[in-house]
Structure 1
Amino acid sequence: MADKLWILVGNASRVRLFSADEKGEDWNLLEEFRHDESRAHNLDLQEQRDNPNAGTLHGPPPETEPDGRRELEHDRFARELSQRLDRGVDHHTFERLIIAAPPEFLGRLRKALSKRVLQRLVLDLDADFSNVPARELPNRVPVL
């Protein structure tokens, strides 16, 4: 049986995925995701770069611009999360989705989401609850 609701809470480097019943009660942690590259300094990321073909065909690769490599890592993490949500749709494991993330990462995540996932998105919050203890989240994230 499908969880009625999934709640994705986090930022560009750490995300927790919860399930809840149709009333938004009984939150259960399903998975935690970490993307340490999103927290690294640009100089460190440039030294770790292993893909010389990264970037665009129209100008310098984004990783050579200030904060460019970090932005690429944020996009990579958003795509990883999007793929996980797509698998949830494929397996019919949720019907509704709530996302809480800081505005910049929330925008990246929304761009990465498939139409199938976006159809299940009932609420997105511009808020970083990544450091809020799990037991407090139900009081901070409104469930429709």
Structure 2
Amino acid sequence: MKTQLIVIANAASARIFRRDTAKSPLVPVETLAHDASWLHARELESDRPGSQAADNSRSLNHFEPRSDARRKEHQRFAKEIAQRLEAGLKVGEYASLTLFASNPFMGELKAQLSEAVTQRLKATLNNDLCHVGIAELESRISGSWSAVL
């Protein structure tokens, strides 16, 4: 087995581990944090939420769709993780990739992955393990694998 990278993420933090063989222990590589994901939407925006007409005409106005500031922050963090994975792939850091991410964040993260990184994906599991310590992580990951296989 070639080196496998395991990413455990949610919208506020991500931990990256490496495993050199199927039986080798997880080795911490990097921890990423995105503090803005913890903020309330009103703290992220400079204006009150709402919409504004495109012009001052009296006819029917077209309004811009409402955008959620928290979702934008989640997308920014997903992009940061994806860029880190792309950089690791370019230097040959890993041969395969496994993602464990919270359910709403998994979609954001997968949307940001490049085609080259996506081809390295071995599995994606909607499971938020960010709060789990490394000692328990080994058994939880193994348990998740047995459910997939």
2:46 equivalent in structure 1: 47
1:59 equivalent in structure 2: 64
**Structure 2: distance between partners of 1:24 and 1:43:** 47
Contact 1:5 1:24 in 2 (8 A): no
User: With structure 2 as the length reference, what TM-score do the two structures score?
Assistant: 0.80
1:67-106 Cα deviation digits (max 9, x unpaired): x000000000000000000001100110000000111100
Equivalent position SS for 2:11: coil
1:22 deviation in Å?
A: 2.6
**Structure 1: distance between partners of 2:75 and 2:23:** 29
Deviates more, 1:71-80 or 1:134-143: 134-143
Counting aligned pairs with the same residue, the percent is 33
1:21 deviation in Å?
A: 1.4
User: With structure 1 as the length reference, what TM-score do the two structures score?
Assistant: 0.83
2:50 equivalent in structure 1: none
1:5 equivalent in structure 2: 4
- Which blocks of at least 5 consecutive residues in structure 1 are unaligned? 49-57, 63-67
**Structure 1: distance between partners of 2:10 and 2:103:** 9
Does residue 138 of structure 2 align to residue 133 of structure 1? no
**Structure 1: distance between partners of 2:117 and 2:23:** 18
Instruction: Name the amino acid aligned to 1:130.
Output: C
Change (3 A) 1:138 1:114: same
- Paired residues, what number? 128
Change (3 A) 1:24 1:120: farther
- Which blocks of at least 5 consecutive residues in structure 2 are unaligned? 48-62
Instruction: Name the amino acid aligned to 1:25.
Output: S
**Structure 2: distance between partners of 1:60 and 1:115:** 29
Contact 1:14 1:33 in 2 (8 A): yes
Deviates more, 1:122-131 or 1:132-141: 132-141
1:60 deviation in Å?
A: 4.2
**Structure 2: distance between partners of 1:118 and 1:46:** 33
Instruction: Name the amino acid aligned to 1:119.
Output: Q
